[in-house]
Every structure is written in structure tokens, then in C-alpha cells.
Copies of this chain bind each other. A is one copy, B any other.
Amino acid sequence: MTPVAVMGSGSWGTAFAKVLADAGADVTLWGRRAEVADEVNEAHTNTQYLPDIQLPQSIRATTDGEKALSDAEVVVLALPSQSLRGILGGLSPFVPADAAVVSLMKGVELGTTRRMSEVIVEVTDVAPARVAVLSGPNLAREIALCEPAASVVACTDRAVAERISDLCATSYFRPYTNVDVVGTELCGAVKNVIAIAVGMADGMGLGDNAKASIITRGLAETARLGTALGADPLTFLGLAGIGDLVATCMSPLSRNRTFGEGLGKGLTVAEVIAATKTTAEGVKSCTSILGLARHHGVDVPIIENVVAVVHEGASPAEIGRRLLSRALKAEAE
């Protein structure tokens, strides 16, 4: 049994720990909150993040990073994107240099515009060819319920991607490998921002024709940016691209879509945060993704408009109209 450390006991970290345990790995789940670790160890549940889900008894939880990491052959990171550098900085002395590291995170770091895999390489001694990213249409709750899903494991070293893929394949979870780390990672990050835009359209009462247009143009925008960064255009057509974007935009549960819906209904960012008691990842990443796009001279009007509402006080209704107008206009480009 391969010893795996899953760092982060939120909903996706916990659900993926279950996938790994169901696939036969020896899983230690690390989180900072003792009450979560205790609940996982004693009741085999994590009710705050995955209510009504029974976790495998084989998963051990701990708040001790050294204990979780010291024997790990594979380290899975499911931390908040903007906290990755800080948290991983504290843990990095314990990350075995020959471990493979898998990022489940979907964001781009503020300030540095680094992708998560780049932050991992900067903060740890792990070689880039041992860092993989996993991304796809993977709503955590459905996976925790053993509903069927597929995903992409990308690593520049295909052998590493295949090893990770073998490690997490179950009857309900099918990973596929590719070598396009940049594209796979970017799909996940930009998707959160497009989901905010689609949520805004929902909140404004726009119909499925308009939302489908925003999704279409959002994917085109993602592919333009990705191609400029060296990604394989085919990645955007696959499970990590269209697949993840469509799953998120169809799901009433997506945090990013729900956040946008509040904005579309005319609430301020502060009001949405107060109502949902959470900040959606895209709210943070939209700024860094826009920075990345500007640095590479890529036009990303949907992302730009989300930034204008979320961080520059623009009126959601006005921006909603502008977003829609861009979405409807862009086929001619």
C-alpha cells in the first residue's frame, strides 16, 4: 500500500482522500483543525465539508504535518490557493524530496501570477517533473457519493502521471493522463472566473441561450490565454476544459457560480460574502489571471469584466450587459 499524505481536509481534499483509500492507498489526511481530525478518526465523517458521507475507516487524520508527510511517497495538496505558499512553506522541510506531488488546487497566486504547480516547485525541493495536477468535472460531493466521474492527471513526466492515475482509479473515478500541465492547470483556474460570470447572468435572470454564449466565449478566452502560455489547444476541448466548465456551470452547488448569482441580483461583494460566509476562489484568482493575460498581451474581456465588478466597484447590472454584449459579439472575431 502506497503511503499518501493528503494535505487539506476541506471538501475536495476529503473526497479525494476517500477516492485514494477506496483505490487501496494508505491515506493520511492532514488539516489544521483538531476537531476535524478528531471527527475523521473517531466517527469517520467530516460533517462540515461533506455532510452525510461515511469515510473509509482506513483514513487516518492528523494535525501534525511532519507525521503526515515523513513517510509519504505521494503528497496531495488540497489547500486554499492563496494560502499555498504560506502553508507549504511551513511544511516543506517534511516533504520527502523524492515524493511525487499532486495539486488539486484551482487558482493562480496573487502578486506573482504563478500557477499552483509553479508555487510548489518554488517552495519545495521537488523537481518539476514530479509535480502533477489533477483537474476535471469533479464536483466533490458527487464523488464522495461514489457517483461516476472522470478526471485528467497531467505531469510533464508521463510515467509519474500514470503512477498517480493508477493510485486513484476506482470503479467510480477514472483518471486519464496527459502531459499538458499548463493547460490542465489553467482550465481549472479560469473556470472559476467564468463560473462567476455565468452566475451573474443567472442572477440577472438571463436565459440559457445567453448563458451558453458566455460559456462558449469563456472557453475561447481560456484557450487563447492557454495557447499564449504554451498549452496544448486540445486540452481545452477535453474533460479538464469544457468538461469542468460545463459541470460547474450546470451545478446549483458551485460556490463560484453562486457567488456570481448574488452579484447579478445586485448584492455587493461584501453582501455576498456575508450571505455565503465564504469567498469563492475565482474572486481572488480573477485579478491574478487578468495580470497573467495582460503580461502575455491576451484579450480576456469576460475575466476583465468580472474583475471590474468584484474589485473595482462596477455595477453588476451594467457589467452584466457588457459581458453579454461581448459574449454575443465575439463569434465574429
Contacts and interface: CB of A to CB of B under 8 A. Distances in A.
Contacts of A86: none
A163 interface: no
Total identical chains? 2
A183 to B, nearest CB: 13
B328 A174 contact: yes
A45 interface: no
B237 A219 contact: yes
Contact of A237 (B139, B148, B207, B220): B220
A74 interface: no
Given A174-B329, A246-B246, A213 B237 contact: no
Given A150-B331, A237-B219, A209 B242 contact: no
B215 A243 contact: yes
Contact of A239 (B152, B213, B223): B213
A138 B209 CA distance: 6
A129 interface: no
A219 B236 CA distance: 12
A164 to B, nearest CB: 15
Interface string A168-211: 00000010111000000000000000000000000000111111
A50 interface: no
Interface of A: 136-139, 142-143, 145, 147-150, 152, 174, 176-178, 206-213, 215-216, 219-220, 223, 237-239, 241-244, 246-247, 249-251, 324, 327-329, 331-332
